[in-house]
Amino acid sequence: MNVRRAGVVLLSLMLACSFLSLAQEQRNAETGVEERLSGFAARLRLSISLASFAVYAPSLGDLHLHAQQIVNALEGSAGPHFVRAEANEEIRGLRPDVADLIDWFGDNVEEGETKLRIAAATRNIATYLELALESALQALRLRRLDEATAQMLKVYAFLAAAYERPSETPHVPGLWTILRQYSLAESEAGLNADQG
């Protein structure tokens, strides 16, 4: 009987440990994704700033420079249009990061409304980033400042849409939706208040 009770206790302990372990793994994974999301948000904000620099660039050379910086930020050093400013420059691209995030959310978020909302947001981010990349590459091909500026306005709009700044007007889910899900929106709120 004692042996049997001891067995039950041991089994209970093992189950509890495994649940605790799973929960810890989940927490660790979520901590990891929160860091990645924060980093992603910071790099996306930097790209939006670069787009605003390009829109007001005083010369075509400056506009092309910032357009290339955005292409680099979007594609990362493995991208086909990446141009290294320094010999060993290695950076992660926003687009590959979104692809990774889509996979991660697919594997780690429980089925339900939240998963659907996050999936829609990540798909939108990926699409906006692709459109921003196309427009930035188009701007790099143009030789007139006014035409290239119009393209960079598109880049700015697509990146801002990917960031999804909440406003009173209806908006399509983007990064903000995901940040809110992971309680990261508060730390972005100061920024948003300034930009809004």
Partner 1 sequence: MTVSVRDLIHRNRGLLLLVLLAVLLAGVGASVFSSAYVRVLHRGFEDRSLAYAQAFAASAIPWVDRGETELLRSAALLFLAGSARYVQVWDGSDLLIDERVNGYRDLTLEPLETPLASSAGQSADATNLLDVRVPIEIQGSAGYIRVGVGRTSVAAQARSAMAAAAGSALGFVALFAGGLVFARSRGARGHRDSEPMAADTILQAGGLAVDPVRKTVELDGRPVSVTPKQYKLLELLAGEPGRVFSEEDILAAAWPDSPYADAKDIKQYVYLVRRRLAEVDPEAKRLIETVPGFGYRMVAPAVDQDLTP
Quick one: which of 30, 34, 36, 65 contacts partner 1 (CB under 8 A)? 65
Quick one: which of 30, 34, 62, 134 contacts partner 1 (CB under 8 A)? 62
Question: Interface with partner 1 includes 49 (CB under 8 A)?
Answer: yes
* CB within 8 Å of 105: residues ≥ 6 apart: 115, 118, 119, 122
Name the strand (E) or helix (H) holding 43.
helix 2-55
Q: In the complex, what is the shortest distance from the CB of residue 145 to partner 1, in angstroms, rounded to a whole number?
A: 9
Quick one: which of 2, 5, 80, 85 contacts partner 1 (CB under 8 A)? 85
* HSE toward the beta carbon, residue 192, CA cutoff 13 A: 17
Q: Are 184 and 41 in contact (CB under 8 A)?
A: yes
Question: Interface with partner 1 includes 134 (CB under 8 A)?
Answer: no
Q: In the complex, what is the shortest distance from the CB of residue 45 to partner 1, in angstroms, rounded to a whole number?
A: 8
Contact range with partner 1 by CB under 8 A, out of 17-25, 46-54, 120-128, 132-140:
46-54
Q: Are 159 and 131 in contact (CB under 8 A)?
A: no
Contact range with partner 1 by CB under 8 A, out of 2-10, 26-34, 60-68, 122-130:
60-68
Residue 37, both tokens:
């999301």
Q: Are 68 and 62 in contact (CB under 8 A)?
A: no
* CB within 8 Å of 57: residues ≥ 6 apart: 63, 65, 66, 145, 149, 152
The 175-194 contact track toward partner 1, x by CB under 8 A, reads ------------x--xx--x
Query: Which residues of the shown chain bind partner 1 in the complex (CB under 8 A)?
Result: 42, 45-46, 48-50, 52-53, 55-62, 65-66, 69, 85, 187, 190-191, 194-195
